[in-house]
Amino acid sequence: MSVYIGGRLRIMSYDEEGRMSELVNAGILDYQVRQLGIWKPVDIESLSNPDAARILSKDGYTALLLKNGSLLGDVTSKEPVSVLPLSEEDPFVDASLGSSCHYAVTGKGSFFLSANGRSWSSVAYDLADAEIRSVACLAKLGVACGTNGTVLV
């Protein structure tokens, strides 16, 4: 909704005598949908490319899938957790947050899972002729799908 940024906001109201008067005339500096509380910057200066490709949120836990292929977990805490794939040549392509387990997956099929979003463990699959594209949480199960009809559980 960046179309509003740089625009003008005018709030009009009727006064006691029934005349329309302007209460506010201001420039729009920022626009957010469903903003709750005060915006807080996340310190991710240590990462080489902190641009977020996707934001994920579930039950008070928020994570960012970054454009460089890494995952930044628990971003609303004082100490966000940086989760790096096993190799730079195999970045994360998707992540999914569940009620009791979180998953991230790389294009070559490495699964990362966490029960709390802070400690992550990995399981690697050997995929010769397929590429993983997405992952979803089904209860406590992580399901990834990819090219050539590949499905990993």
Residue 63's contacts (CB-CB under 8 Å, 6 or more residues apart) are 55, 56, 57, 71, 72, 73, 74, 75, 95, 97, 102, 117
Is residue 121 a contact partner of residue 113, using CB atoms and an 8 Å limit?
yes
pLDDT at residue number 80: 80
Q: Is the pLDDT of residue 58 over 50?
A: yes
pLDDT at residue number 3: 62
* 86-145 pLDDT per residue, tens: 788 888 999 999 888 888 988 888 888 888 888 888 888 777 788 888 888 887 788 888
Q: Tell which residue, 67, 71, 64, 73, has the closest CA to residue 51.
A: 67
What's the token pair of residue 8?
């003008």
CA distance 134 to 144: 6
pLDDT at residue number 61: 85
Predicted confidence band at 46 (pLDDT cuts at 50, 70, 90)?
Answer: low
Residues above pLDDT 90, as percent of the chain: 3
Task: Give the predicted TM-score (pTM) of the model.
Answer: 0.65
Task: Report, as an integer, the average pLDDT of 28-50.
Answer: 60
CA distance 22 to 27: 14
Which residue is listed with tokens 């899938």?
Answer: 65
